[in-house]
């Protein structure tokens, strides 16, 4: 195994000292990069990129070739598992992900298979193996999945939703059916993430994109419970002096600021937070890592504004160990590329005084 040359991200996830705050960005391999747009045009469509290991590897590495980021995240999609279950994932320009088949009743749920990740999702594992080799220990590689609740939302709604009418109708009218779907998804995600770990992922992230759409009572039962079920099944290793012998897990619930205490007791190593969270108000700093939380829209602003907002986020977190700087959600596709450079440089330069 290649020696890891930059372990700041993994150290921060374990609340260990670092010399500056590590940074990576959600959706850092994306359409704001001209080389990504060229690669996607070459591939023809998004799913071909995801399902071709060489293209997924190239997309993963592109932002690392431009910016001094402290982690890579494998290029894939959160909805690979429902696709492997036979729902037929596809993308329409300007409309996001859609499924050819949807889940509407208990019978649909009972017929869903639990995918073998080394068969129906082997393209993800091959991409991880290839990318890990190409990284050659430069930075750690992050593997990920969507959360059971988020996957179920897309599977029942058939795509993105503003009102979540269908999934919430199932939640309140057929809760047993929804719990069965979520349990099947949790077990599928655990198998999938363990396969990613075996392939070489050095950290795991669970994206609970739609958890914030739940009521405060429902969040714990229909989202957090199933993420905990996943965590309990992950083959994470044990913490030791060898920083790479342990696989840290980050839970990110967009709009989840109300549940930070509950998430911190989930068994995860880190909590991802969006820009609505005041880091001053987090009591767990230093005991559990925090990832976040710059508003992506700030990257439209000038260099001085970006630097000022970076300073605000760093000062809110303070002199604790365990901060991974990130955006509060994915980077927007029309962000000026030089502004990303401003952000990375500002985080590395300005964070040094918080790590004496």
**Strand, coil or helix: 355:** coil
Backbone phi, then psi, for 206, in 5-degree steps?
A: -110, 120
With contact defined as beta carbons under 8 Å apart, do 326 and 294 qualify? yes
Give the active site residues: 27, 31, 40, 77, 154
Q: Which two tokens stand for residue 239?
A: 């913490």
HSE-CB of 15 using CA atoms within 13 angstroms: 15
With contact defined as beta carbons under 8 Å apart, do 132 and 74 qualify? no
Element (H, E) at 266: none
Which residue in the block uniquely carries the two structure tokens 């901060």?
Answer: 323
With contact defined as beta carbons under 8 Å apart, do 141 and 202 qualify? yes
Q: CA–CA separation, 20 vs 5, rounded Å? A: 15
Please list, in sequence order, all residues whose beta carbon lies within 8 angstroms of the beta carbon of residue 58, skipping any fewer than 6 positions away: 39
Which residue in the block uniquely carries the two structure tokens 């399902």?
Answer: 51
Q: What is the DSSP letter of 27?
A: T
**Strand, coil or helix: 251:** strand
Closest CA to 282 of 265, 311, 257: 257
Element (H, E) at 154: helix 148-157
Q: CA–CA separation, 205 vs 198, rounded Å? A: 15
Cβ neighbour number for residue 16 with a 10 Å cutoff: 15
Binding residues: 27-31, 77, 154, 209, 329
Binding residues for substrate: 27-31, 77, 154, 209, 329
Q: CA–CA separation, 207 vs 203, rounded Å? A: 13
Q: Which two tokens stand for residue 289?
A: 């890592």
**Strand, coil or helix: 180:** helix
**CA 221, chain centre distance (Å):** 21
Q: Is 322 left (phi over 0), alpha (psi -120 to 50) or beta?
A: left
């Amino acid at each position: 195994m290649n020696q890891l040359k930059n372990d700041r991200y993994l150290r921060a996830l374990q609340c260990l000292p670092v010399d500056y705050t590590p940074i990576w960005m959600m959706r850092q391999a994306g359409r704001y990069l001209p080389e990504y747009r060229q690669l996607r045009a070459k591939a023809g469509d998004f799913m071909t990129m995801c399902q071709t290991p060489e293209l997924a590897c190239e997309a993963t590495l592109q932002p690392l070739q431009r910016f001094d980021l402290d982690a890579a995240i494998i290029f894939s999609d959160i909805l690979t598992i429902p696709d492997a279950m036979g729902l037929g994932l596809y993308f329409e320009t300007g409309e996001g992900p859609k499924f050819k088949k949807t889940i509407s009743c208990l019978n649909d749920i009972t017929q869903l298979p639990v995918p073998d990740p080394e068969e129906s999702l082997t393209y993800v594992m091959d991409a991880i193996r290839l990318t890990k080799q190409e990284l050659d220990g430069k930075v750690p590689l992050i593997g990920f999945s969507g959360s059971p609740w988020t996957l179920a939302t897309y599977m029942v709604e058939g795509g993105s939703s503003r009102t979540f009418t269908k999934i919430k109708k199932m939640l309140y009218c057929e809760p047993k059916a929804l719990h069965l779907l979520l349990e099947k998804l949790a077990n599928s995600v655990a198998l999938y993430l363990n396969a990613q770990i075996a392939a070489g992922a050095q950290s795991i992230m669970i994206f609970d994109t739609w958890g914030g759409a739940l009521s405060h009572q429902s969040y714990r039962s229909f989202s957090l419970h199933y993420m905990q079920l996943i965590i309990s099944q992950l083959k994470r290793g044990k913490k030791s002096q060898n920083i790479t012998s342990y696989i840290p897990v980050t839970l990110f619930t967009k709009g989840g600021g109300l549940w930070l205490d509950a998430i911190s007791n989930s068994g995860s190593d880190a909590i991802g937070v969006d820009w609505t969270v005041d880091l001053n108000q987090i009591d767990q700093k230093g005991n559990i890592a925090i990832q976040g939380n710059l508003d992506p829209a700030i990257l439209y602003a000038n260099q001085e504004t970006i630097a000022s907002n970076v300073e605000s986020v760093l000062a809110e977190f303070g002199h604790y160990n365990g901060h991974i700087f990130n955006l509060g959600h994915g980077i927007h596709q029309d962000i000026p590329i030089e502004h990303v450079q401003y952000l990375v440089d500002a985080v590395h330069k300005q964070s040094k005084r918080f790590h004496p």
